[in-house]
Structure 1
Amino acid sequence: MNEQWRTAASATLHCLTGCAIGEVLGMVIGTALGWSTWPTVILAVALAFLFGYALTMRPVLRAGVPLRTAISVALAADTLSIAVMEIVDNAIIVAVPGAMEAGLGSPLFWGALAAALAIAFVVTWPVNKWTIGRGRGHAVVHKYHH
């Protein structure tokens, strides 16, 4: 595997971490509150973007970059990656019959969510490779990782 694919895998894993935190939290809150599918999905997506951007901004801010610049870096680095990941994983979990209604104690809920995130990783990886190859996406963040 060449360097760009390894970097893309790392970027996708980073994206998956933020998305998974937000996605799981949103799904848990919406499901626990008995919300219908779409309000739960909207909350999960909003939290996935929030946590995804926050995880990107953390090391950038530690590098001494001003907040406004760190926000710009996070938006440039992660928006496409998070969007693809969220579209894929939410489409899958909504498509699994009964998954959204199954409840937090159900293996169907957790299995569908885990499978959706895994598939989203596989779909998003080449997207990140493409953006990194063009000096965009997560490549924007790398100059702040030192």
Structure 2
Amino acid sequence: MRLTLLELLSWISLGVGLVSSALIVVDTRVLGYRQPIKIMEFVWAVTGAYLGLAAIMAYRRWARPQSPRWQQRHGRPPRRPRQIAILTGLCHCGAHCALGVILGELVIFFSGISLGRDTLWANYISDYSGAIVVGVTFRYITSVRRGRQRMRDAFVNVAKADLLAVTAFEIALFIWLAISQYVTDSEPSMDPSTPVFWFFIQIGLACGFIAAWPATAWLVRRGIKVTPEHGPNRRR
């Protein structure tokens, strides 16, 4: 079957994302450049899946030098400006939203749930709920590693430190999904069994990443959002 230009572009973009994610996994898990906060290894891998080469560049410039292996070979890592705390927070938020949209879209696709005759609003609710669930799970896993195992604390932390940025991220993603359904050809763009759908999801996640920057910057500057490697005793 002959590929259209959009399908070819979709396969290339998805391939770049998967390879970027795989390279980060290999670097952390195989080559031994482990992150001080283990959940960030997963966060960076997810970021690579939708930001591709940009995620690789950011990871190698700012995350890799934080690993004990890098520091053993090169000494102290370069000083990280406050903007990197914002970037790290965005990657964390983006991982919530990326995994949330994957889970949400697959649930709607396989269940056939719709509101009225349109699945778009059902997708919105499912994607947003998925992002919150993933965020709470991430926070809970981090709290367990620190010796605290209260699910209530995870909910409170997400509501206080993540909800604003996640909401901004999701709004941008939802606007893009609406555009992709109503402005472009709705058949390939909204069918999760096609590469075009996931290519459009990549674009939407990139839009959300940009849209969530101001909210994340405000949360970091106010001390409301403290990323794992920029904990209260390590903030610059």
Whole-Å separation in 2 of the counterparts to 1:62 and 1:4: 25
Partner AA of 1:121 in structure 2: F
The structural deviation recorded for 1:43 is 1.1
User: What is the aligned-residue identity percentage?
Assistant: 22
The match for 1:39 among 116, 122, 132 is 122
Contact 2:140 2:149 in 1 (8 A): no
Corresponding residue to 1:96 among 176, 180, 199: 180
Q: Letter of the 1:114 partner, please give it.
A: Q
Instruction: Report what 2:19 is aligned to.
Output: none
Residues 100 and 78 (structure 1), Cα distance of their counterparts in 2 relative to 1, 3 Å cut: farther
Q: Which one of 14, 31, 34 corresponds to residue 92 of structure 2?
A: 14
Aligned length: 145
Residue 99 of structure 1: CA displacement?
6.5
Give deviations 1:41-100, integer Å, cap 9, x for gaps. Answer: 211111111102211231123212251333322321211111111111112112213178
Query: Computing the radius of gyration over CA atoms, which structure comes out larger, 1 or 2?
Result: 2
CA shift in 2, pair 1:99/1:81, >3 Å: farther
AA at the equivalent of 2:154:
A
Displacement of 1:143:
3.7
* 8 Å contact from structure 2 (residues 189, 200) kept in 1: no
> How far is the alpha carbon of 1:108 from its aligned partner?
2.6
Cross-structure match for 2:204: 116
Provide structure 2 residue ranges, at least 5 long, that are not aligned to the other structure.
1-78, 114-118
CA distance in 1, matches of 2:93, 2:233: 17
**Structure showing greater relative contact order (alpha-carbon pairs closer than 8 Å, 6 or more residues apart):** 1
- Structure 1 residues 102 and 87, CA, compared in 2 at 3 Å: closer, same or farther? closer
Distance change >3 Å, CA 139–CA 105, structure 1 → 2: closer
**Letter aligned with residue 126 of structure 2:** L
CA RMSD of aligned residues (A): 2.6
Residue-by-residue CA offset, 1:10-60 (whole Å, 9 max, x unaligned): 111011111111111111221233332211221111111110221123112
For 2:188 and 2:175, the matched residues in 1 are separated by 11
Letter in 2 for 1:107: P
